[in-house]
Structure 1
Amino acid sequence: MPDKKSASFRDLFLHNRRVLFQYLRSRVGREDASDLLQETFVRALRYEAFHKVADPPAFLQRIASNLVLDLTRRRKSEQAVIEAGAAAADAPADETRPEERIDFERQSRQFEAAVAKLPRRSRQVLILALHQNLSHDEIARRLGISENAVRKQLRRAILRCRSVVD
């Protein structure tokens, strides 16, 4: 029985991968589309009630759409943290109230400590993004890694820093 399931899933993959890839590529770009396409089929395989799905291609489309939404939200969140980190690098104005200045200094120290504790590659990526305002593509070229690796390292760095700075 597992061979029959594998064969039918393989057929589903072969018949739908091109359309799903084009859909994903149009929304997130070629590199991320490959990852999301793979994740779409992994999630479908893991879905225990997949055999009960009335329209498997539509189900795959829904999974892919949700993955696009998740990636978009994650990127917005990462960008917000990057912007917050860049803003934290700017000293408060002289007319800032003492309480705000103290809070800023405390958060700056927390952020600097969090960055210092990051793994080397995550720290490099974060510093290039925050302090040199480089794009993912520019960081990837400079460090000799893929844009996807840059995104992953940046995501890890942001999550770790966010958990430390309150």
Structure 2
Amino acid sequence: MPHSYCDSNLLAVLVSCYEDLKTFLTRKYGCRSLAEEVVQETWLRVRQLSQPIVVDHPRAYLFKMAANLAIDHLRSEKVRKRYISEDSQADEFPKDTPLPDRVLDYKQRLAVLRQAVDELPPRCREVFLLHKFEEYSHAEIAERLDISRNMVEKHIIRGLAHCRNRLRQAMP
């Protein structure tokens, strides 16, 4: 095992600027855990120096060393993620794609809802569709159809109740 030489000057500077270095890396790369890991790795590298080194600006040297280590870490993580995603793509659906059985369930529910809306009386259906699908407010619907806000609310409640009941009957 090679003899390790600890450059006590660099190590002392590292200990004194530990929190500043962690804050710098967290801000630069947006990840506190990465910053902590890189500061630890920097400490290990300084501890394992095999030769004493002369550094004019030890703090700047340590910040540059840590930034380079962070870049190395991010590059290796990017490569690792690329290989993992290439291997798993053939076996998995994309994360935002629902499973086929869920798609079938959604299609069945949609068909039931369409039928339920079609069964509503004409004025109730019109109010319901304006509110739920056109996103009109109660006041806008009342003005547009020349009915009271109270009547708008009654139609919406009736439409919701009818759709809910049809869904319950069709999908126990």
TM-score class, shorter-chain normalisation, is 0.3 to 0.5
Which structure is larger by alpha-carbon Rg, 1 or 2? 2
Please, what TM-score do these two structures have when normalized by structure 1?
0.45
